[in-house]
């Protein structure tokens, strides 16, 4: 199938890939996950990862900054049943000793978190201290946030489900 496309469309596909790879700064390719910064293509939201510290449960910590000024706190944990990264986004969760019900009330999205490498292949979200993937996929993020009460009736500034690496924190 890919060979037919290349024959039919000449070198355009190869040129496009070359252009995309050429625009990935070297510093971003070497950026560790815990310092990586991502942005969705609609520029409605950005994700800033931060070092998690020593946690037995949480493997990655991040903040999602929405264009409308709302900040969501995110964590990634690995599920026990089928080992895979499971992320969740929270808005104004209480701190300290909280119940599962309290956490459920402030959780706006939860689901698997996929990473896309430079080779274009999707995989599971890597742990800290490894190179940041080129893109992240948060399945059904947009629809989940669209239904969130924090947006009220003005739910037009909703991010997409795919975020591309846009920088590295110093």
- When divided into structural domains, the chain yields a total of 1
52, part of any domain: yes
Burial class (CB in 10 A: 0-12, 13-18, 19+), 86: middle
Instruction: Say if residue 4's pLDDT is above 70.
Output: no
10, part of any domain: no
Instruction: Say if residue 21's pLDDT is above 80.
Output: no
117, part of any domain: yes
Cα–Cα distance list, 10 to 1, 14, 18, 107, 127 (Å) = 14, 8, 14, 48, 39
61, part of any domain: yes
Identify the weakest region by mean pLDDT among 19-28, 80-89, 139-148.
Answer: 19-28
Host domain of residue 36? 31-168
Burial class (CB in 10 A: 0-12, 13-18, 19+), 155: middle
What 3-state class would DSSP assign to 105?
helix
**pTM for the structure as a whole:** 0.78
86, part of any domain: yes
14, part of any domain: no
Instruction: Say if residue 14's pLDDT is above 60.
Output: no
95, part of any domain: yes
pLDDT tens column, 65-119: 998 888 999 999 988 888 889 999 999 999 888 899 999 999 999 999 999 999 9
13, part of any domain: no
Cα dihedral sign, 103-99-58-121: negative
């Amino acid at each position: 199938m890919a060979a037919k496309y290349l024959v039919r469309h000449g070198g355009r596909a190869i040129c496009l890939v070359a252009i995309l790879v050429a625009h990935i700064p070297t510093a971003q390719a070497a950026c560790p996950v815990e310092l990586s910064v991502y942005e969705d293509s609609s520029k409605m939201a950005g994700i800033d990862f931060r070092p998690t510290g020593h946690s037995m449960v949480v493997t990655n910590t991040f903040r999602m900054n929405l264009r409308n000024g709302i900040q969501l706190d995110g964590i990634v944990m690995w599920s026990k049943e089928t080992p895979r990264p499971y992320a969740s986004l929270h808005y104004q969760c209480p701190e300290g000793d909280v119940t599962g019900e309290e956490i459920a009330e402030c959780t706006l999205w939860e689901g698997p978190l996929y990473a896309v490498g430079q080779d274009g292949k999707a995989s599971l979200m890597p742990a800290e201290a490894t190179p940041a993937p080129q893109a992240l996929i948060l399945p059904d993020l947009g629809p989940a946030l669209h239904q969130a009460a924090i947006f009220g009736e003005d739910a037009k500034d909703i991010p997409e489900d795919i975020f591309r690496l846009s920088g590295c924190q110093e």
